[in-house]
Amino acid sequence: MEYVTFNDGNKMPILGYGTFQTPPLETEENVLKAIDIGYRSIDTAQVYGTESGVGSAITKSGIDRSDFFVTSKTQTQGYEDTKKGIDDSLKRFGQDYFDLMIIHWPTSESLETYRALEEAVKAGKIKSIGLSNFNSKQVDEVIRNSSIKPVIDQIETHLYWQQQKMSAYLKANNIVHESWAPLGENYGGEMMKQPDIQNLAKKYNVSPAQILLRFLTQQGIVTIPKSLNIDHIKSNFDIFGFKMTDEEIKSLQKFDTHKSIKDWPVSMRENAY
């Protein structure tokens, strides 16, 4: 495993396991499969309904809580709701703390929501805090009005939308860039069929999905592919045995057509910041 180091000194595995659209009742079983394969970073969210399945999988694994890195995301707006939401999340998760909690999407009350996250850090309920789906203007506003700098911004990032503008901004501000939908969700099949991706897969004797994930991690971008297929869960984790050349990484930048899988939220469009 490779790790990134946050601006608060904490570390996060560069590759984890996503749980968006995992049926809540199937979460424990699938997360246990992922843990068995070696994943230690798990991405959940209040809105996914998977916090409790992630927590029970960790307990059932018998592996020390401190060996895991678990991210959750707020679904709440404002200080009071978020404060309560964090406690409710911890109850569902059944553990004492989250390694990372991020604001899932910006709202008119993001600053107050963030203040509740800061307080939870001071209370030992969360180790690190950050943002998701925030453009650079919105991240700047949080930085200007807070005492704990966000450590990460989790944004849609894949072959077809590489987020070069946001990535440069985040790098300059020492904030980690994390990708959601690294395999392009519904566009995944189309990306994996691209002849350039197929040729690289052949050259390195790996799958097209492994090329798409390595393309991100080789650029220092954290990612959390989701799968309910055991062969995919396994191969998505096995991406550190090869390294593409700088020229190959550069050659894949031509696929960046800024194509979003769902155009949500529209504030992430480059002309909005």
Ligand X SMILES: NC(=O)c1ccc[n+]([C@@H]2O[C@H](COP(=O)([O-])OP(=O)(O)OC[C@H]3O[C@@H](n4cnc5c(N)ncnc54)[C@H](OP(=O)(O)O)[C@@H]3O)[C@@H](O)[C@H]2O)c1
In terms of CB distance, is 90 or 222 closer to ligand X? Answer: 222
Give the C-alpha distances (Å, rounded to integers) separating 252 from 75, 158, 198, 236: 35, 11, 12, 19
The residue from 127, 151, 182, 211 that contacts ligand X (CB under 6 A) is 182
Q: How far apart are CA 128 and CA 150, in angstroms?
A: 8
Q: Does 154 bind ligand X (CB under 6 A)?
A: yes
- Least distance to ligand X, CB of residue 178, Å: 8
CA 176/CA 83 separation, integer angstroms: 25
Please choose, out of 32-40, 62-70, 112-120, 184-192, the segment that lies near ligand X by the rule CB under 6 A: 184-192
48 is annotated as an active-site residue: yes
Q: Which is nearer to ligand X, 80 or 217 (CB)?
A: 217
Interface stretch with ligand X, choices 31-39, 82-90, 183-191, 238-246 (CB under 6 A): 183-191
The CA-based dihedral angle spanning residues 118, 121, 126, 131, taken in that order and rounded to the nearest 10 degrees: 30
Give, for 223, the enclosing helix (H) or strand (E).
strand 222-223
Strand-by-strand arrangement of the 126-132 sheet = 17-18, 41-43, 69-74, 98-103, 126-132, 152-156, 176-180, 222-223
Measured CA to CA in angstroms, residue 223 lies from 73, 114, 197 at distances of: 15, 23, 18
Q: Which position has the token pair 């990535």?
A: 167
Position 181 contacts ligand X (CB under 6 A): yes
Instruction: Build a one-symbol-per-residue string for 16-55: x at contacts with ligand X by CB under 6 A, - elsewhere.
Output: --xxx----------------------x------------
| Cis peptide, bond prior to residue 265, ω within 30 of zero | yes
Span from 3-11, 31-39, 60-68, 225-233 in contact with ligand X (CB under 6 A): 225-233
Cβ proximity to ligand X: between 119 and 238 the closer is: 238
Catalytic residue positions, numbered: 48
Residues that bind ligand X (CB under 6 A): 18-20, 43, 104, 132-133, 154, 180-185, 188, 207, 209, 224-229, 232, 235-236
